[in-house]
């Protein structure tokens, strides 16, 4: 794969991961378990949206066809989104939301940290800002996962069920596609195996503190990185993209 094509697809994926997860978290706004959590989840969703805007703008520039952040977010179809499936799953109950965020954040923080050292300065710059945000996100999701795991019987049961149900979606985070392999070889993207080692350590530490059990690694879902998503993404995009699709060419 050409270097520029690989960079486009990878930066697009970084943007799609943040956009889709940010969208999911924003669904809690006004409906959270307590006001402080409405505020926290909105904060995190805003950080993710900000990252998405930076990455998508950069992806548009790499592509060189004049596509803006909004063209990329609002005018691509289901098969053209490259995010991991973990990001698009419905928000579920609050344990599910927290567990998904935790599994993602534990990957996202070391990835962004490593990207700050990328020879691609633009990528390093975007990641530099994202690191501070991802540090807070991981702290927030870890603290809540520990509260749930080591809280009441009900919260423990819900947290374990969430971790168990989400586990099969974690493999995709660390399985490079062709574009990622190209960039890893070129030294632009960190080796995902090294990110996986950090993820394993974080997951072991937090699950232990939460008195939760790490599920056995079984079959891992794939496909999101190639645009073969769950059925949920289509509905998310139908909602996200409704206005620009209904009024083509209008400015807002």
Q: How far apart are the first and last CA of the chain?
A: 37
- Residue 116 and residue 123: Cα distance in Å, rounded? 7
132 binds other proteins (CB under 8 A): no
240 binds other proteins (CB under 8 A): yes
> Whose CA is closest to 50, among 140, 138, 141, 127?
127
CB 231, min distance to other proteins, A:
17
CB 191, min distance to other proteins, A:
31
137 binds other proteins (CB under 8 A): no
How far from chain centre, in Å, is Cα 141? 13
Which CB sits closer to other proteins, 35 or 216?
35
Near other proteins by CB under 8 A, which window of 103-111, 163-171, 179-187, 235-243? Answer: 235-243
Given CA atoms 116, 118, 122, 123 in this order, what sign does their dihedral have? negative
> Whose CA is closest to 54, among 108, 16, 83?
16
- Residue 164 and residue 19: Cα distance in Å, rounded? 25
Near other proteins by CB under 8 A, which window of 82-90, 123-131, 142-150, 190-198? Answer: 142-150
Which CB sits closer to other proteins, 216 or 250?
250
90 binds other proteins (CB under 8 A): no
| Cβ proximity of 59 and 16 under 8 Å | no
Would residue 32 be called left, alpha or beta, if left means φ above 0 and alpha means ψ between -120 and 50 degrees?
Answer: beta
78 binds other proteins (CB under 8 A): no
Q: State which of positions 2-41 bind other proteins (CB under 8 A).
A: 19, 23, 26-27, 29-39
- State the residues that interact with other proteins by CB under 8 A: 19, 23, 26-27, 29-39, 42-43, 45-46, 49-50, 52-53, 56, 69-70, 73-74, 93-94, 146-148, 150-152, 154-155, 158, 239-240, 242-244, 247, 249-252
């Amino acid at each position: 794969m050409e270097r520029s094509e690989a960079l486009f697809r990878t930066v697009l994926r970084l943007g799609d991961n943040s956009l889709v997860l940010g969208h999911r978290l924003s669904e809690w706004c006004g409906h959270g378990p307590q006001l402080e959590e409405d505020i926290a989840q909105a904060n995190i969703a805003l950080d993710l949206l900000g990252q998405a805007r930076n990455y998508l703008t950069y992806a548009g520039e790499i592509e060189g066809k004049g596509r803006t952040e909004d063209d990329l977010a609002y005018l691509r179809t289901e098969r053209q989104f490259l995010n991991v499936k973990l990001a698009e799953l419905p928000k579920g109950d609050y344990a599910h939301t927290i567990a998904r965020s935790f599994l993602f954040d534990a990957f996202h923080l070391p990835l962004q940290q490593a990207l700050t050292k990328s020879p691609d300065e633009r990528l390093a710059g975007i990641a530099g800002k994202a690191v501070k945000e991802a540090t807070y996100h991981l702290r927030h999701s870890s603290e809540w996962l520990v509260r749930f795991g080591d809280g009441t019987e009900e919260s423990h049961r819900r947290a374990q069920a969430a971790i168990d149900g989400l586990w099969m979606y974690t493999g995709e985070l660390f399985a490079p596609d062709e574009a990622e392999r190209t960039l890893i070889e070129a030294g632009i993207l960190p080796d995902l195996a090294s990110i996986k080692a950090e993820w394993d350590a974080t997951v072991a530490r937090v699950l232990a503190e939460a008195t939760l059990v790490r599920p056995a690694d079984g079959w891992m879902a794939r496909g999101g990185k190639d645009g073969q998503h769950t059925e949920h993404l289509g509905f998310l995009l139908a909602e996200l993209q409704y206005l620009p699709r209904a009024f083509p060419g209008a400015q807002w």
